[in-house]
Amino acid sequence: MLRSSPTFQESALLQRFDAAMRKALESLLNVALDDNGWLQATLPVSKGVLGVRSASSLSIPAFLASTQSTSDSTSALLTAYPVIHEDKRASALSIWQASTGWTEEPVSNEQRLWDLPVINVQSSLVVEAATTPEAKARILAAQRKESGAWLTALPSSNLGNLLDKASVRIAACPRLPICHPHTCVCGAPVDKFGTHGLSCRMLAGTIPRHTEINSILKRALASAHVNSILEPAGLCDVDHKAPDGMTLLPWSKGKCLVWDATCADTICKSYVQFTSQVAGAAAERRERVKRTRYSFLENNYIFCPFAVETLCSFGEEALNLIKDLGKRIREVTREPRTRLFLTQSISIAIQRGNAIGILSSLPATSSKNLHEIFYL
């Protein structure tokens, strides 16, 4: 409907439709969305946000892309008649140019090229609204392509991709208030965003998340017909701490692959000064630390530090390993989406770990004796 009719002229109806979508999203996530939060939610999944697109912002790009792509066919069919609705297209084009700052039309007829300038303007508004380093770090992390991988995964329990309601809410609202300020079980104060649990010293979600990421990498290697083991013994004689995994067959140039996974909190005090300027800065710093720590392995092995962040930004070396591993699995299975599936699985594992960490920071709600249940 947005493509075939000039709905942009009925702004009141479009706003009513968006208001209904906003109300439904608030009901699903159990949060109150302010105008900036709703603007973030309407950005596409490729920007790491929810992808609940706004009809008001889509109406003009959809109409312009449709009229441009069908102009030649319309002229050929109606050779004996003047071109119709040219005034409506001119009106839509002037509004699009005024809102985006573009003076020339896109060369292609694809709607995404008409929509991209609108998305860029909205993204810049979201970034400008971020005033604190934590808010800037959240926005930059959300704009990474891989940060929205969990949103594109098929929610199937058989595939292990189904998130429970609490995990979905926490994953969808890292930039919105999700709880009342309280005191964590470790004694530290927790603000309304509840993100203290991501870097709490109790580390409730760290072990499950770390274990699941390594398990995913091991299963992916098995899909590529590469045998591997977790926590190989005998590689480190200095501190007796083994890396997370090693292939039993040569990975490249006759050397086995050794990896060590880590997950950094994007908005913790140690990294927020870096992640508020460059997305993925915490993961890159963790990768450098890991590579320095295991530098003695580089002569006999191919070492890869696999660093990710709590807001699903991946380090450069982690992305390279996923790319290489996805290519090898594709050669075996002939499935062209193996890289996407691998990224989705790791992204979901991160979201589950985040949910465990945040929920574990809440005070205990039940008594150890459970005698109150008899008086209900």
* pLDDT-wise least confident of 188-197, 210-219, 265-274: 188-197
* pLDDT recorded at residue 373: 54
83 shares a domain with 30: yes
> Last residue of a domain, which of 86, 111, 129?
129
Of the three residues 83, 99, 129, the one that is the final residue of a domain is 129
Total domains, the chain: 2
Picking from 196, 203, 205, the residue whose alpha carbon sits closest to that of residue 174 is: 196
Q: Among 129, 164, 190, which residue terminates a domain?
A: 129
Specify if 267 maps to a domain. Answer: yes
315 and 221 in a common domain: yes
Contacts of 7 (CB under 8 A, 6+ apart): 1, 13, 14, 55, 59, 63
For residue 22, tell me if it sits in a domain. yes
Distance between CA 22 and CA 280 in Å, rounded? 30
Looking at the structure, tell me whether residues 140 and 269 fall in a common domain.
yes
pLDDT at 344 over 90: yes
Look at residue 81 in the predicted model and tell me its pLDDT.
Answer: 65
Q: Does residue 162 sit in the same domain as residue 244?
A: yes
Residue 371 has pLDDT above 70, yes or no: no
Instruction: Tell me whether residue 2 is in a domain.
Output: no
Q: For residue range 262-309, what is the model confidence (pLDDT) as tens digits?
A: 999 998 888 999 999 999 999 999 999 999 988 888 889 999 999 999
Domain identity same for 261 and 365: yes
DSSP string, 54-100: -HHHHHHHHHHHHHHHTHHHHHHHTTTSPPSSHHHHHHHHHHHHHHH
In a shared domain, residues 18 and 116: yes
Report yes or no on 313 lying in a domain. Answer: yes
Length of the chain: 376
Residue 208: CB atoms within 10 A of its CB come to 15
Q: Are residues 70 and 214 in the same domain?
A: no
How much is the average pLDDT of 131-159?
87
* Residue 43, domain extent: 7-129
CA separation for the pair 348, 350 (Å, rounded): 5
Question: What value, to the nearest 5°, has the Cα angle with vertex 45 and ends 42 and 51?
Answer: 30
The predicted pLDDT at position 20 comes to 96
- Asked if residue 295 is part of any domain, the answer here is yes
User: Which of the four pLDDT bands, split at 50, 70 and 90, describes residue 369?
Assistant: low
Give CA 284 to chain center in angstroms: 17
Alpha carbons 170 and 15: distance in angstroms, whole number: 27
Residue 124 sits in the same domain as residue 138: no
pTM here?
Answer: 0.84
Query: How high is the pLDDT of residue 351?
Result: 92
| Residue 67 sits in the same domain as residue 140 | no
Residue with tokens 């309280």: 182
pLDDT higher than 80, residue 212 = yes
Question: Does residue 1 lie within any of the structural domains?
Answer: no
- pLDDT band at residue 57 using 50, 70 and 90 as cut-offs: very high
Give the three-class secondary structure for 158: coil
Residue 55 token pair? 């009809």
d(CA 79, CA 325): 55
| Whether residue 211 sits in one domain with residue 121 | no
The b/e string for 90-118 (b: 16+ C-beta within 10 A; e otherwise) is: ebbbeebeeebebeeebeebebeebbbbb
Residue 56 falls inside a structural domain: yes
Angle at 226 between CA 220 and CA 231, to 5 degrees: 75
Residue 25 shares a structural domain with residue 150? no
Residues 94 and 190 in one domain: no
Mean per-residue pLDDT of the chain: 87
The span from the CA of 58 to the CA of 51, in Å, is 12
Any domain includes 192: yes
- pLDDT more than 90, % of the chain: 42
